[in-house]
């Protein structure tokens, strides 16, 4: 009986075991590796999702735009955030640089964007900028370096006015216009590179009041085009081929003729920056050739009145053809040369203590002007700086065509005390010209020249 019971129990347990095994085979346990793989797939999914977020981030970054700058004491600048076509999303100083981040590419640096940022040292604009508007950087007096992006087409009025630390500027080829006074009062500016073959439209005063500015470098094939373009004429004598950068010109060999007689330029050195000055004065009715360029008469209508347009035409033709920046002397330059410069012997008159040796004046002139260079020269070899014709100077050199300045040295009708190197007659700027008939001339921008002449100078490139 016990044997039968044990056999039955054993059979029952075997059936239970088989049933249990079959159930487990229908639902096998998951492979740990497959779980990790699942997790990896999930992670991969997460990675793919992250990758999707990365693409979005990249797109966002592509739409962002930055301006980078340096400033005094690493201080954040105060600027006009509304002067841009995008919103500022952050502004902080990082690793020695100010970084302004915009939410979209900026195409303009707007009106007074960085005006009066006197702590601004350097700034780098993004390549997307196409316009720098009026007064964008006016009075940034410590700004010494800025890139003008290659796509910029317009530079507005007074955009960089009084950026007195700027020394060099590159004007991209894309620029089509430069506003009035855009670079005025940039008193350290001495070199401008114009990269376009076509001159941008400019004002006469776009680069005014920059005493050090003596070089505009342009493409070689465009030199004459720049010099002859109306707005560039005040700077025509400073416009050179970029291939001539670093080449110093020697003006000592320049000659000129007055009514067929040949004279030269004399170098003046000493207390002032060196310059060359003509040996003689040029009467307004004389036939003149300078540096091989025939110019005819300074006043071509024979009325003894020199108007600003006469002098502008005369000078511009000369400068455009020669590329030499001829101009009227300042009063300081004229007086220094008349006194003999560094070779001065401190004579009473220019070249002698005896006025009759050096000057035509009221006692010996017989009531008329005389041919130039007939009297004794002064210590520098300059003629007629006392008497004969009083000589026009430019006391407002911002305007290279100014004819309203004082006339120095006395003339053929002057008394002795009016023929000193320091003697002058002030330019009158209102009223009628005395002694003119047949035409109405106002004194402003006109000067009567029966007793006046001009003598041109050129800055030495030492």
pLDDT value at position 435?
58
Q: Using CA atoms, how far apart are residues 386 and 426, in angstroms rounded to an integer?
A: 16
* Count of residues making up the chain: 462
| 122 touches 69 (CB < 8 A) | yes
Question: How many Cα atoms occupy the beta-carbon half-sphere of 20 within 13 Å?
Answer: 6
> What are the backbone angles phi and psi of residue 25, rounded to the nearest 5°?
-65, -30
Task: Name 453's bridge partners.
Answer: 283, 391
With CA atoms as reference, report the closest residue to 159 among 114, 193, 198, 194. 114
pLDDT value at position 23?
34
Task: Name 275's bridge partners.
Answer: 268, 459
Q: Using CA atoms, how far apart are residues 285 and 282, in angstroms rounded to an integer?
A: 8
pLDDT in tens, 412-429: 999 999 999 999 999 866
pLDDT value at position 431?
64
pLDDT value at position 440?
59
Neighbours of 217 (CB within 10 A): 20
> What are the backbone angles phi and psi of residue 342, rounded to the nearest 5°?
-70, -15
Task: Name 328's bridge partners.
Answer: none
pLDDT value at position 33?
33
pLDDT value at position 62?
63
Calculate ∠ Cα 40-45-46, nearest 5°: 95
Q: Using CA atoms, how far apart are residues 131 and 175, in angstroms rounded to an integer?
A: 9
**Tokens 């003596």, located at residue:** 214
pLDDT value at position 391?
97
The parts of the chain modelled with pLDDT lower than 70 are: 1-62, 428-443
Q: Using CA atoms, how far apart are residues 28 and 49, in angstroms rounded to an integer?
A: 32
pLDDT value at position 107?
97
pLDDT value at position 15?
38
pLDDT value at position 10?
41
**Which domains, ranges and CATH numbers included, belong to the chain?**
63-244 (3.80.10.10), 256-459 (3.90.1580.10)
């Amino acid at each position: 009986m016990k044997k039968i019971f044990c056999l039955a129990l054993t059979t029952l347990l075997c059936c239970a075991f088989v049933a249990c095994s079959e159930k487990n085979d229908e639902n096998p346990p998951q492979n740990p590796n497959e779980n990790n793989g699942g997790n990896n797939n999930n992670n991969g999914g997460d990675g793919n999702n992250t990758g999707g977020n990365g693409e979005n981030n990249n797109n966002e970054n592509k739409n962002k735009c930055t301006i980078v700058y340096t400033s005094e004491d690493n201080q954040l600048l105060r600027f006009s955030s509304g002067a841009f076509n995008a919103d500022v999303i952050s502004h902080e100083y990082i690793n020695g640089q100010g970084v302004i981040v915009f939410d979209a590419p900026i195409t303009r640096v707007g009106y007074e964007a960085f005006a009066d940022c006197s702590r601004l040292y350097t700034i780098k604009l993004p390549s997307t900028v196409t316009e720098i508007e009026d007064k964008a950087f006016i009075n940034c007096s410590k700004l010494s370096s800025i890139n003008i992006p290659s796509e910029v087409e317009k530079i507005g009025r007074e955009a960089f006015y009084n950026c007195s630390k700027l020394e060099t500027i590159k004007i991209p080829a894309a620029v089509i216009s430069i506003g009035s006074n855009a670079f005025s009062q940039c008193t350290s500016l001495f070199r401008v590179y114009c990269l376009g073959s076509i001159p941008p439209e400019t004002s006469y005063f776009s680069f005014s009041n920059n005493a050090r500015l003596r070089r505009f470098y342009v493409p070689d094939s465009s030199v004459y085009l720049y010099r002859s373009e109306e707005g560039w004429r005040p700077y025509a004598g400073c416009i050179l081929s970029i291939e001539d950068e670093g080449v110093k010109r020697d003006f000592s060999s320049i000659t000129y003729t007055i009514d067929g007689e040949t004279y030269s330029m004399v170098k003046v050195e000493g207390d002032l920056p060196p310059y060359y000055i003509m040996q003689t004065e040029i009467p307004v009715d004389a036939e003149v050739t300078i540096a091989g360029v025939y110019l005819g008469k300074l006043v071509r209508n024979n009325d003894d009145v020199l108007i600003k347009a006469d002098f502008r035409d005369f000078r511009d033709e000369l400068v455009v053809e020669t590329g030499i920046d001829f101009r009227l002397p300042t009063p300081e330059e004229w007086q220094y040369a008349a006194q003999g410069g560094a070779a001065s012997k401190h004579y009473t008159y220019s070249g002698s203590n005896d006025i009759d040796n050096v000057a035509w004046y009221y006692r010996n002139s017989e009531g008329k002007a005389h041919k130039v260079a007939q009297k004794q020269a002064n210590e520098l070899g300059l003629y007629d700086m006392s008497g004969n014709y009083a000589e026009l100077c430019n006391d407002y050199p911002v305007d290279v065509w100014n004819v309203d300045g004082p006339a120095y040295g006395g003339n053929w009708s002057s008394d002795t005390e009016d023929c000193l190197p320091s003697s002058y007659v002030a330019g009158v700027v209102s009223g009628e010209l005395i002694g003119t008939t047949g035409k109405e001339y106002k004194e402003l921008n006109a000067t009567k020249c029966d007793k006046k002449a001009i003598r041109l100078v050129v800055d030495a490139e030492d």
